[in-house]
Amino acid sequence: MRLLPCIKSYDEGVDHSKQIDREIKEWIKTYNEAIKLLLLGTGESGKTTIIKQMKILHVKGFSHSERTAMIPHIRFNTHEAIYEIIQNMPVLSIGLQNAKHVRAQQYLLKVGPEGPQEYTEEYFDNVRDLWQDAGVRECFKRANEYQLIDSAEYFLDRIDLIGKEDYVPSDADILRCRRKTTGIQKIEFKVKVPKSMHGGTQDFWMLDVGGQRGERKKWIQVFEGIHAIWFVVACSDFDQTLREDNSQNRLKEALILFEDVWQSRFLLEAGIIVFLNKQDLLETKIKQGRSIAPYFPKYNHFEASGDEYTRTKLFIRNLFVNLTTKKRERRHIIASAERFVVLEASRARECYFHFTTATDTHNVRTVFRDVHQMILTHILSNIGVY
Ligand SMILES: Nc1nc2c(ncn2[C@@H]2O[C@H](COP(=O)(O)OP(=O)(O)OP(=O)(O)O)[C@@H](O)[C@H]2O)c(=O)[nH]1
Ligand SMILES: [Mg+2]
């Protein structure tokens, strides 16, 4: 680590700052190592969706064959959505509103959870009929009481398109498609460096891991050499339980996981940026009259101005900010590393927060620009240039 000489006067300070600027630009020019980013977060928080956005924004997007390869997954998403809804109707004591739809319901239940062998016209007709039923819609509105993919409405609303023989998924369809990640995926891309920094391009690696509990033991394999963690949180999950453990609230699980990541001694050098994701779904939920208060009673005493949605998103951010200001717990300190960890604990460590909608390419582009600059500054500070 290199220490900069101390400044004695204002003029000297200005010269000194110009010198630092020059040094930073020089350093970036010669820095040819890829910047390594790791996406972390609970299951379904939106990590893979961000990887897809990087492919759209910084690689070549999706080819025709990549798009057609998504069709079975999108059709299966549609199936699992309608199947889950109709299966949960009796559990929630909701009946079909239209008796004509009973046959369609029996047809779908007979198809089973794995979906049909072949997606036929008859299959899509039955799904369309059921999705029109007021009872099905009522059960859909109570989706937080069972497990339903976030893209259920998006795909069921597009059933006619998805059922077409010549259907080719759009970028939006691919971004909405849900497939659980198992293992570790990597995407490599180049990004233009802001002119203010020096221009040119910079290599990035972005790693995606599975966020469900069973997948997290694999994370440690990829911690080494990571420059920044993007920790993704599904804010709209505040009233839902985990797919892998229906006794645990999803947002509470995200908070516990974040605290572990923030305190991990393996990630002390990495910059941490929290993506408070699924803002579109959060806003819709709040505007439909749902409240976070029954799940997080502290919300009743939270002071912030703005409408309910704004107050809720600020409250969620606060929950995470509070974890970053807590003292590092000693349970994470092992004897040989104690001195280092204690020193680290006394060093100011910043955490950055962004409100995001990962399915919105424009939003992700803007956030990436901000975050890029922040990561460069973080790396420079870690090596002692800043
Ligand atoms: N509406 C909306 N949907 C989103 C957003 N972010 C992600 N999704 C959807 O949420 C679902 C889950 O997203 P993924 O990116 O697969 O989640 P993940 O974090 O990779 O999940 P694991 O692989 O299980 O760890 C997908 O259907 C996405 O389209 C968002 O901001 N808004
Ligand atoms: Mg994933």
* Residues annotated within a binding site for GTP: 44-49, 150-151, 175-181, 208-212, 277-280, 358
State the pLDDT confidence band at 293, using cuts at 50, 70 and 90. very high
Higher local confidence (pLDDT), 237 or 17: 237
Among 40, 42, 49, which residue has the most ligand 1 atoms within 8 Å of its CB, making it the best to mutate? 49
Higher local confidence (pLDDT), 176 or 196: 176
Cβ(353)–Cβ(274) below 8 Å? yes
| Residues forming CATH 1.10.400.10 domain(s) in the chain | 64-168
Q: Inform me whether the pLDDT recorded for 146 exceeds 80.
A: yes
Question: Which of helix, strand or coil describes residue 187?
Answer: strand
Average pLDDT along the chain: 88
Write out the CATH class of domain 64-168. mainly alpha
Q: Specify the pTM.
A: 0.88
Q: Inform me whether the pLDDT recorded for 335 exceeds 60.
A: no
Give the tens place of pLDDT for each residue, 193-232. Answer: 767 666 778 899 999 999 999 999 999 999 999 999 999 9
- For ligand 1, atom 29, the nearest C-alpha belongs to 176
Cβ(40)–Cβ(253) below 8 Å? no
Helix (H) / strand (E) containing 209 = strand 201-209
Helix (H) / strand (E) containing 273 = strand 271-277
Catalytic residue among 67, 158, 178, 250: 178
| Residues forming CATH 3.40.50.300 domain(s) in the chain | 27-62+181-339+349-381
Which numeric CATH code is attached to 27-62+181-339+349-381?
3.40.50.300
* Residues annotated within a binding site for Mg(2+): 48, 181
* Complex ipTM over 0.85: yes
State the pLDDT confidence band at 297, using cuts at 50, 70 and 90. very high
State the pLDDT confidence band at 331, using cuts at 50, 70 and 90. very low
Give the tens place of pLDDT for each residue, 67-123. Answer: 999 999 999 999 999 999 999 999 999 999 999 999 999 999 999 999 999 999 999
Residue owning tokens 């859909």? 140
Task: Give bridge partners of residue 241 from the DSSP assignment.
Answer: 249
Output the CA 277–ligand 1 centroid distance in Å. 9
